[in-house]
Structures are given as structure tokens and as C-alpha cells.
Structure 1
Amino acid sequence: FGSSFPGSVARVLTLCFVPMEGLDQGALLQLQAVLEQQKQYCKLSSQCFQACVASPGTSLVSSQQRCLWRCAQRYVETQHFIQKYSDDQVKNGRWDLSTAIG
């Protein structure tokens, strides 16, 4: 897989062909993390493309490229802010994750 796919995709494909019962906890967590990254990437791509490209063509004009770049930056910065805020809330005891899960 490594020669024709980027690293993360190759790892997912490699893990997909291993029986689940053969995976240790670390491999399952790695697969889950890679799949979550792919899910976020698809969500970001879809949202920004819909917001920035009214009528798709064979290429993007510079204003569409700028819009996509800014949209992606806002998305990443917002995700970072939310993660930091959430971590701070848990760290300071304002949120109790043990009661929120389940």
C-alpha cells in the first residue's frame, strides 16, 4: 500500500485488512484517530467548498482559493479553541467527563 497511497491512508488500508481480533488496543486507537482525522478533513472540505465555490469548474479562481484557505483556517482555529476550552474546563473541574459519558 505504501507506494500508491499517502502514509495515513496506507496505515488505514493496512489496518483494514488485519482481522479486528488480531489488533491490540494501540492499533485500534491509531485506526480510530486516523479515521477521525479523515472524517474531519471530509467535513471541512465539504463545508468550505459549498461556501466558497458557487459553480464548480475545471479550476478555482484566486478568490475561491482565498475563500477556501480562509475557511479552512477559521475551521482549524475554531476546533483548536474548542479543544483548548474543553480541556481547560475539565482541568479546572468545571466539567466531569465521567458523568457525561454513558
Structure 2
Amino acid sequence: MESLSTGSLSSAQKDELMDQLKQQIAVANAQELLTKMTEKCFKKCIYKPGTSLDSSEQKCIAMCMDRYMDSWNLVSKAYSNRLQRERQRM
């Protein structure tokens, strides 16, 4: 297995590589969020899958997704704050 060596890269190339990695991580996180939110809200709100959603299912899905996003954002913010505190201690 090859190891990743950044010793021969310029500072600009390293910054570009880090930006690309951050973008890939952000996309992966968004995909995970959407997948988990869909799974959990579907299980919670849809009892008899059919060709369309009735109004109560639509409301349930909307509220479930809102709560899930709020929770995700709260946890993400707390995690980011903790990482910042840890970095400042170093």
C-alpha cells in the first residue's frame, strides 16, 4: 500500500489538497445526514407505503426532518466548539 507523501508539494498545492479533502468530507457528511434522516423519518411517519403521502404523513415527515436537522446542527456545533477548545489547549 502506498503512503501519501506531501513533502514534494508546494504550500499552495497542499492548501488546494486540504480544500478538496474538506469538500469531500462535507459531501459525505451531507449524504450521511440525508440517508439517516430519510430512514428514521420514513420509519417514524410512514405506516402504509403507497403512491402518495396523506396530509398527516406529510406533516410528520416535515416535522421529523426539521427536528433531525436541528439536532444535527446542535451536535455539529457542540463538536466544533469542543475541537476548537482542544486545539487551543495544544
TM-score of the pair, normalised by structure 2: 0.66
Deviation at 1:79, TM superposition (A): 1.5
Q: Which has the higher contact order (CA 8 A, sep 6+)?
A: 2
Q: What is the distance in 1 between the residues matched to 2:48 and 2:27?
A: 31
How many positions carry a matched residue from both structures? 73
Q: Higher helix share goes to which structure?
A: 2
Return the match for 2:68 from 63, 67, 75: 75
Q: What is the distance in 2 between the residues matched to 1:49 and 1:89?
A: 32
Q: Highest CA radius of gyration, 1 or 2?
A: 2
Return the match for 2:20 from 18, 27, 33: 27
Q: What is the distance in 2 between the residues matched to 1:88 and 1:36?
A: 18
1:64 aligns with 2:57: yes
Return the match for 1:53 from 30, 46, 51: 46
Can you give the 5+ residue segments of structure 2 that lack an aligned partner in the other structure? 1-15
Q: What is the distance in 2 between the residues matched to 1:89 and 1:33?
A: 19
RMSD after superposition:
2.4
Can you give the 5+ residue segments of structure 1 that lack an aligned partner in the other structure? 1-22, 98-102
Q: Secondary structure at the match of 2:42?
A: helix
